[in-house]
Amino acid sequence: MKKITIIGTGYVGLVSGAGLADFGNEVVCVDINKEKVSQIEDGIIPFYEPGLNELVARNVETGRLSFSTNIGESVQESEAVFIAVWTPMGNDGEADLSAVEDAGRVIGQNLTDYKVVATKSTVPIGTGEFIRSIIRENSKGRAEFDIISNPEFLREGAAVSDFMIPNRVVIGTDSERALALIKEVYRPLFINETPMVITNIQTAETIKYASNAFLAVKISYVNELANLCDENGADIHTVTRAMALDGRISSKFLHPGPGYGGSCFPKDTKALVHQAKERGVNLEVVKAAIRANEFQKSRVTEKLERLMKNDLDNKTIAVLGLAFKANTDDVRESPVIPLLTFLAEKGCNVRAYDPKANKNMAKLFPDVNYCSSIEEAVKGVDAAVVMTEWHEFRGMDLARVGELMNEKVLFDARNLLSPNELNRIGFRFENIGRSSVR
């Protein structure tokens, strides 16, 4: 097993650090944010991620996982350093690499002996060489090192299982020595024959963007199909169910909704288009997916306005679901944000409920009434909108909800609810791509 430093304690760094400790490595997760590090040391994980508390606690208990703000000291004592800092979107879709650059600098300054430097953060293709040059410049030849691209494929809400049982591990490197070391780091996965893709750095960096952009294209494709089904009388549920029976298509990521959000798809699709444009390549398909995703958010407000017979002014609306997806408290790029903006412009009184994301959305929309249950949120409202695919909404008691509402009007933007049941209870309702199903 190896001594490892993980730079960055967000959901990639923390999940990867705790996971690598669980594989038997000795891991220190470091961050410049002292408050965040002391919170985590007190067992408080600063975001909701199912199973992460237990994974961290178990490995702190065994002494394999610890935390520090002294990045330099931790790097000096490590055999492998993972860069897991954030790479937010800068202007025109370009990724902001300042945190990556800072990490490279501190690694170079503390390169006391041979180390492998693995980048987990999603970085533009070619960044591996950028990191190599920063470390070389700051290490002044003190010791040798090798660079690896080791992108993560973690989904928020499923990050722990995605790390512990990955579909594949991608390793990009030009060094046999680095490859041997990283195989030791991931030894349990090698033993259970997890597929390993060993390639060069830029190919590994490309695999990450290619995967995320394809998933975004798939979502935009099914959203556009759903919009067509609304107009041609087809049922998108049956369309996608039949499509999924073709193994080449699969059932995954064929659920229409209000548009994709999160800290990855919006950023990674734009970053990929930007990188391609810099190399004179036009990614029409990915650009179309980005445009279709923006359109889908306006489709939600258009369908709600139509459902309300163009009379939304000063109405009371319940918004069920605030997070960009279920099983997370993350509201970054959530499609609920443009909806709340639209409702505010209409002077609507909004009552919102999300099992986990109320607090985070309240930072952006303090004037919304945040409720602690479905029943509290729908009480006396003129309409309800289901925006996040939480199981709790899938299974809610529609008869009870109907009784509590002022008007039985509902927009199911995730197709969670049975149109037949909504009809039977007397709802006037909309969904996505199932307008013919009653």
Binding site for ligand UDX (CB under 6 A): 152-156, 212, 215, 219, 253-255, 257, 260-262, 264-265, 324-325
At closest approach, how far in Å is the CB of 404 from ligand UDX?
27
CB 349 within 8 A of CB 369: yes
Cα separations in angstroms, 207 against 77, 152, 406: 31, 10, 50
Minimum Å distance from CB 116 to ligand UDX?
22
Q: Which is nearer to ligand UDX, 312 or 326 (CB)?
A: 326
Q: What φ, ψ does residue 5 adopt, rounded to 5°?
A: -115, 135
Select 105 or 218, whichever has its Cβ closest to ligand UDX. Answer: 218
Compute CA distances 190 → 19, 23, 123, 180, 238, whole Å.
15, 11, 25, 12, 40
Nearest to ligand UDX of 212, 275 (CB atom)? 212
Return the axis-axis angle of helices 336-345 and 284-307, rounded to nearest 10°: 40
- Using a 10 angstrom Cβ sphere, with 0-12 exposed, 13-18 middle and 19 or more buried, the burial of residue 61 is exposed
Question: Which position among 29, 264, 348, 371 bears the catalytic label?
Answer: 264
Instruction: State which residue, 47 or 153, has the beta carbon closest to ligand UDX.
Output: 153
Nearer to ligand UDX, 184 or 235 (CB): 235
Quick check: is 229 catalytic?
Answer: no
Q: Which structure tokens are listed for 123?
A: 């970085």
CB closer to ligand UDX, 316 vs 328: 328
Q: How far apart are CA 108 and CA 156, in angstroms?
A: 31
68 near 37, Cβ under 8 Å? yes
Cβ neighbours for 357, distance < 8 A, ≥ 6 positions apart: 322, 323, 328, 329, 330, 331, 334, 388
Give min distance, CB of 204 to ligand UDX, in A: 14
Q: Which two tokens stand for residue 102?
A: 């800072």
The greatest distance separating any two alpha carbons of the chain, rounded to the nearest whole angstrom, comes to: 75
How far, in Å, CA of 15 to CA of 8, rounded? 11
- Return the exposure string of 172-207: e unless at least 16 CB atoms fall within 10 Å of the residue's CB, then b: bbeeeebbebbeebbebbeeeeeebeebebeebbbb
Give the number of other CB atoms < 10 A from CB of residue 221: 17
Quote the least distance from Cβ 391 to ligand UDX, whole Å: 14
Closer to ligand UDX at the Cβ: 128 or 266? 266
| Contact status, residue 7 vs residue 85, Cβ threshold 8 Å | yes
CA gap 381, 143 in Å, rounded: 66
- In the complex, least distance from residue 237 CB atom to ligand UDX, rounded to whole angstroms: 12
DSSP 287-322: HHHHHHHHHHHHHHHHHHHHHTTT--TT-EEEEE--
Residues annotated as catalytic are 264
